Amino acid sequence: MHYTGPVIRPPYEAGSVMLEVTVGCTHDSCTFCTYYKGHPFRPAPLEQVRADLAEIARFRPGTDHIWAAGGDPFSMSTRRLLELADLVHEYLPGATISTYARVDSMRNKTVDDLRTLHDAGYTDIMIGIESGDDEVLAHVNKGYTAADVVEQCGKLDEAGLPYNRIYRRRCSTRFARSSCTSRPSPSSPTPSSAPRLRGATSRP
Ligand code: SF4
């Protein structure tokens, strides 16, 4: 298997087979993140992906789910993501695919594109939203605003492509006027600018 730099996945993907499809992050500028420093963003060569899939099929036959590894694989074009899904299914028929995405990964995709990607096997993506507060987002140099979150995640909702979100709790409570927790509750009010989205997890 080929892995370049740190290989990171959400805790709930701990049992998934990890397949490198990109290296690095397209943004690589969030103030709190050093994950991919020194590893500029690039798609993994398809021949490398093919070789790794052959290895998975040989040593883990019956694999039915893949974590597509890299900082921002969903930023790739719809065409490239569909090529990857075809390749995965050539070796692992019926396998589902999860991956990381930035909010702006959806900008180059229409709702129909997202629906097609879901039909092709992308069953869930994890988005590091971090906060619904524009002040926090600017402070950590996230590269998008709360309005962008609502617009782009709204496209996922419309397409029916499931997604999870990460909120960065400590940063929000330290720097923002209002609190922003990963799991809003009656004792931790949701900021008025925060998008109303589905399930969340948190970074420390
Ligand atoms: S978008 Fe994610 S991977 Fe990229 S710099 Fe920000 S936190 Fe790190």
Cβ of 171 below 6 Å from ligand 1:
no
Cβ of 126 below 6 Å from ligand 1:
no
The tens digit of pLDDT for each residue in 116-130 reads 999 999 999 999 999
| Percent above pLDDT 90 for the chain | 72
Mean pLDDT of 170-193: 39
What's the mean per-residue pLDDT of the chain? 85
Q: What is the pTM of this model?
A: 0.83
Burial of 166 (0-12, 13-18, 19+ CB in 10 A): middle
Cβ of 137 below 6 Å from ligand 1:
no
The tens digit of pLDDT for each residue in 36-45 reads 999 999 999 9
* 167, 131 contact by CB (below 8 A): yes
Residue nearest atom 5 in ligand 1 by C-alpha distance: 28
Question: Taking Cα atoms as reference points, which of 19, 74, 23 lies closest to residue 49?
Answer: 19
Domain ranges (residues) in the chain: 11-203
Cβ of 35 below 6 Å from ligand 1:
yes
What class has domain 11-203? alpha beta
Ligand 1 centre from 56 Cα, in Å? 28
* 19, 68 contact by CB (below 8 A): yes
